[in-house]
């Protein structure tokens, strides 16, 4: 059931026509919806390989996805759903799972981040994937260093409280109101309006991410033309303005809501 929920959440998130993201009607130069379909199948299998540690599952998910697609598709999803799936399996708070991550988990997670070749990603001066840090990797320490500039790191540093307090309720409310596909699109716009996307901030700077937050706040999710205007703006420069972290958080919320 957990594997099926992972696959369904990944496919639902990728299928919705979210602004600035890949979906069946929109691609990037190196990333298509078919890649997300492949990644969903891989995530469902690797993130429920209970014979491996959480960190090893995340690393295996990223390695197999890059090998199969030639690109980074689901690093953020693997980082988020990895601990969430373990929490569902054990029926315990995800904070407990995160607190139990050891140096082996940390080293595997660090390797996954590096091998994904994710855009603009580093782990501050002490843990920088670009310089090939060697040694025991204190994953929680690194996430605490990065939490103010990376919203996925914030989940690890704060026991996923941000996900449960902000993302999950938003996704649930919008889907209840609009249905799944339209609800995901509206939730994406709403979340973008509430906090700058940290992937955009890393790649383009905080000022650009804040400008996009303001544009999202001015977007009427009930008006297709307004949503299209935001989508067109985000696609004006290839995938540089792709709000991918917000999309990853939505995938994690969808998984949590369906398990």
pLDDT, tens digit, for every residue of 56-71?
999 999 999 999 999 9
pLDDT confidence of residue 136: 62
Long-range contacts: 128-137, Cβ < 8 Å, 24+? 136/103, 136/106, 136/107, 137/103, 137/106, 137/107, 137/109, 137/110
pLDDT confidence of residue 238: 85
**Cβ atoms 123, 142 nearer than 8 A:** yes
**Cβ atoms 225, 218 nearer than 8 A:** no
DSSP 3-state assignment of 23? strand
In this structure, what is the dihedral angle of CA atoms 92, 97, 144, 197, given to the nearest 10 degrees?
-70
Residue 102: phi, psi to the nearest 5? -110, -170
DSSP 3-state assignment of 237? coil
Length of the chain: 259
Calpha distance 244→76 (Å, rounded) = 8
* Integer CA distances (angstroms), 140 to 104, 121, 255, in order: 12, 16, 23
Calpha distance 236→231 (Å, rounded) = 9
Tokens of 16: 């919705």
For the chain, the structural domain boundaries read: 2-160, 165-245
Model pTM? 0.93
Average pLDDT per block of 10 residues along the chain, 259 residues long? 98 98 96 98 98 98 97 96 98 97 94 80 49 65 94 97 98 98 98 98 96 98 98 93 97 97
Alpha-helix residue ranges (DSSP H) falling in the chain: 2-15, 33-46, 54-69, 75-90, 94-99, 103-116, 139-146, 151-157, 161-162, 168-178, 180-194, 198-204, 206-217, 224-234, 244-257
Tokens of 236: 């004006």
How many angstroms separate the first and last alpha carbons of the chain? Answer: 8
pLDDT confidence of residue 117: 74
pLDDT confidence of residue 237: 86
- Nearest by Cα to 95 from 163, 161, 162: 161
Cα-trace Rg, the chain: 17
- For residues 239-252, one letter each, b for 16 or more C-beta atoms within 10 angstroms of the residue's C-beta and e for the rest, the string is bbbbbbbbbbbbbb
pLDDT confidence of residue 219: 98
């Amino acid at each position: 059931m957990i594997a099926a929920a992972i696959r369904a959440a990944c496919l639902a998130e990728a299928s919705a026509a979210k602004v600035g993201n890949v979906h069946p009607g929109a691609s990037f130069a190196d990333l298509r919806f078919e890649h997300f379909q492949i990644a969903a199948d891989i995530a469902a299998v690797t993130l429920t390989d209970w014979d491996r540690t959480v960190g090893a599952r995340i690393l295996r998910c990223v390695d197999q996805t890059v090998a199969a697609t030639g690109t980074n598709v689901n690093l953020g999803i693997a980082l988020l759903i990895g601990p969430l799936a373990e929490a569902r399996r054990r029926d315990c708070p995800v904070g407990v799972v995160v607190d139990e991550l050891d140096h082996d988990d940390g080293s595997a997670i660090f390797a996954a981040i590096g091998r994904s070749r994710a855009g603009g990603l580093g782990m501050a001066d002490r843990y920088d994937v670009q310089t090939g840090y060697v040694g025991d990797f204190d994953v929680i320490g690194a996430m605490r260093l990065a939490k103010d500039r990376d919203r996925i790191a914030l989940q690890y540093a704060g026991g996923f409280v941000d996900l449960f307090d902000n993302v999950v309720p938003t996704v649930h409310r919008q889907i209840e109101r609009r249905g799944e596909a339209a609800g995901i699109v509206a939730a994406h716009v709403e979340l973008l309006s509430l906090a700058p996307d940290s992937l955009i901030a890393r790649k383009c700077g905080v000022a650009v991410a804040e400008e996009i937050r303001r544009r999202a706040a001015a977007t009427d999710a009930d008006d297709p033309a307004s949503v299209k205007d935001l989508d067109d703006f985000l696609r004006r420069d290839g995938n540089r303005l792709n709000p991918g972290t917000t999309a990853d958080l939505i995938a994690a919320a969808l998984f949590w809501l369906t398990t």
